[in-house]
Amino acid sequence: MEYGDDSIKMKRLPPGQKEIKRVLLRHIGSIPKFDPKTWNLIIYGEVKKPLSFSWDDLLKMPSIVKTSDFHCVEGWTVLNNQWKGISFRTLVEQAKPGDSAKYVTFECDDGYTTSMPITDLLGEEVLLAYKLQDTYLEPQRGGPLRLIVPSKYAYKSAMWVRKVKFTSLQELGYWESKGYSNTADPWKEDRYAK
């Protein structure tokens, strides 16, 4: 069977989703400016080793390439996105969260936030991506750095990530505080808070 076979695609599309060919551009407010000379990524909170990476530092870290599907809560999916970036597990290993750290909040340049349990972020497909289809992420697509969590609706895959905070209690993010599901599981059509 061909990878693009319709029967295979149907098995890959969560309930209520339809395939489109390119990720739609969605964001609230203006797109943050990126200066590689001053940009940094900060890892902090309930960790034994707080970290700060410059853009050059980040690009020197071991990278991974993962192909995954991208599911929007609005009902569209883009199949076969090839992302390149840093495995989230690599950051966890380096920062060494304390025993009390159960959640991670992602803080973005535009003020956007989202959070998830650490356990949801340890899959091998979760990464902080700086390339899509072998091209550096454009600012309108979340560049220079965005989170990719394929097992969740796309609002959990935060754009313009600048800070990663480990916490003992979960902090509701932007959309979650407005009534969207905190678990965001596309296979359960878990779109809105119950």
Report the distance separating Cα 154 and Cα 85, nearest Å.
Answer: 17
Q: What whole-number percentage of the chain has pLDDT above 90?
A: 87
Average pLDDT over residues 84-103: 98
143-171: pLDDT as tens digits: 999 999 999 999 999 999 999 999 999 99
Domain layout of the chain by residue ranges: 13-21+35-188
**123 has pLDDT over 50:** yes
Residues in the chain: 194
Domain over 13-21+35-188 is classified CATH 3.20.20.105: no
- pTM for the predicted model, two decimal places: 0.91
E strands, the chain, where?
Answer: 18-19, 40-45, 51-54, 64-71, 76-87, 103-108, 113-117, 127-132, 135-136, 146-148, 161-167
**137 has pLDDT over 80:** yes
Answer for the pair 154, 36: CB distance below 8 angstroms, yes or no: no
**5 has pLDDT over 60:** no
Report the distance separating Cα 162 and Cα 110, nearest Å.
Answer: 10
